[in-house]
Structure 1
Amino acid sequence: MRKVEEEQAITAQTRSPKEILILDCALKLLIETGDAGLTLRKLAERAGMRLSNVQYYFKSKDDVLVAMVARYFEECTATLMKLTQQSEAAGARERVRFLALSGLAHGQEISDMCRAFREIWAISSRNEMIDQCLIDYYRTFADVMVNFAFPDGLDDTGRARVQSLLIPFFEGYSITGRSVPLDLEDTADMLTDLTLSVSE
C-alpha cells in the first residue's frame, strides 16, 4: 500500500462527527450542483457551520474532494462486500449473473450513485489525486467481484480478462443502459456468458 493510501485509510478511521457531516454534505452538494456548485462557502451553509469551521478541518476544496471521494469509495466497497456476503448464489454461473444483474441495475435509472460517479469522473480528468482514488477504487472493486464470482480462484490471465471485461462494461452501461436494445435480463445473460468464456 502506498503512503498516500495508508494516510487516507488512517484518516478515514479517525474522522470526527463534524468532519463526517462536512463530507456527507459535500457529497450531496456534488450530486445536486456538480463540481462547480461545491464551494467551501456553500458547503459551510449546507453543514450549518461557519466557513472558518469547515476550513479548520479542510483547508481547501481539493482537501474536501479527496476526503469525500475516499469516504464515498469506502462506502461503495463496503456495500458491494455486504451484497456479495448476503448472496445465496452458488456456482460460477449464478455468482457471475448475480454480479451482472447487480452491476447493471444502476444503468436503468439515473441514481444518486450515477450522478456522483459522473461528477467524480469529470473531476478526475483534471485532478491527479482524485484520478488515483478512482483507479484504486476500480482495482479494489474488480478484486472483490472476481473473488466472489470465482472463489476457487483464477489464473492471472483469467482474472485480468474478467476484470477488463466487467469494469468497463458496468461503467459504460451506467451511462448507456437505457438506450441499448436488450433488456436488463438479456444483457445480464449475455454478460454472464462473456465473463465465463473469458475466464477460461
Structure 2
Amino acid sequence: MEATLAILKVSGVEGVTMRKVASMAGKSLNNVQHHFKNKEILLNNLADFYFAQCYDDIAQFSPSNRECDSKRELYEFVLFILGQSEHISDACLVFRELWAVATRNSELEDKLNQFYVSSIDRACIFWSDYDRANAEKAASLLLPYVEGYSIQHKALPVDKVQVAELLSETLYTLLTQPVND
C-alpha cells in the first residue's frame, strides 16, 4: 500500500498502474494482481490503509497535563489537529484523488463517506463528557474546517495558535450549551 500511496502522491490516480505498484514494491506483477484483481480494488484497499493512517495520527494526541480543565484540553486538541493538518498537504492530494475516483466508484464513495461518519463518531467518543447532540454539532464544525485549513492555512491572516483559540472557544460553546429538547 505504501508503494501505491507514493505513486498516487506523485502521479495522481491516473499514474497508478498495477505494473508501477509492483515495480515500486519490489513484487512481481502477478503477485500484485493476485492480491488486487484490478485498479479499483487496489484503490479501495488504499483508502482503507490511508484512513487507518489518519486515525493513527489523531490517536497520538495527549494533553500536556492530565489535570488540565476541559476547556484547556479542547484547545490543546484543536491546536494538535491544526498542527497535523499543516503537514498533511499529501492528505489533501490523496483525498482529492480518491474523491475524483469515487465519482465513478460507488464502493469508494461509500468508504469515503463512512470515513467521515466514523470520524464524527470518534470525535463524539472523545467528547463523551458532553451531550451527544452537542458533540455531533462540534464535530460537524471541526472536521470540514480542518480539511479546509489544511489547504488554506498558509494564506490565513492569523496564525495557528489564534485559530486554535477561536475554534476551541466556538467548539466549547457548542459542547457546553444547554440541549434543546
Coarse TM-score class (shorter-chain normalised): 0.7 to 0.9
- Specify the code of the residue in structure 2 equivalent to 1:182: V
RMSD of aligned residue pairs (Cα, Å)? 1.9
Tell me, yes or no, if the aligned pair for 2:124 and 2:132 is still in contact at 8 Å.
no
Partner of residue 16, structure 1: none
1:48 CA drift (Å): 1.8
Show the counterpart of 2:54.
76
Distance 1:75 1:143, change over 3 A: same
How far did residue 106 of structure 1 move? 4.0
- Which stretch of the first structure deviates more once superposed, 42-51 or 60-69? 42-51
Residue 154 of structure 2: SS of its match in structure 1? coil
Structure 2 residues not aligned, in runs of 5+: none
Q: How many residues align?
A: 174
Give the distance between the partners of 2:162 and 2:42, measured in 1 at CA: 41
Residue identity over aligned pairs, in percent, reads 30
Q: Paired residue for 1:53?
A: 31
Q: C-alpha offsets along residues 10-33 of structure 1, whole Å, 9 cap, x if unaligned?
A: xxxxxxxxxxxxx12111111121
Structure 2 length as normaliser, TM-score? 0.85
One-letter code aligned to 2:16? L
1:126, CA displacement in angstroms? 3.1
Distance in 2 (CA, whole Å) between partners of 1:40 and 1:181 is 44
Please state if 1:184 is matched with 2:160. yes
- Would the aligned equivalents of 2:92 and 2:147 in 1 still touch at CA under 8 Å? no
TM-score (norm 1): 0.78
* Distance across 2 between alignment mates of 1:190 and 1:72: 29
Which segments of 5 or more consecutive residues in structure 1 lack a partner in the other structure?
A: 1-22
- Is 2:139 the partner of 1:163? yes
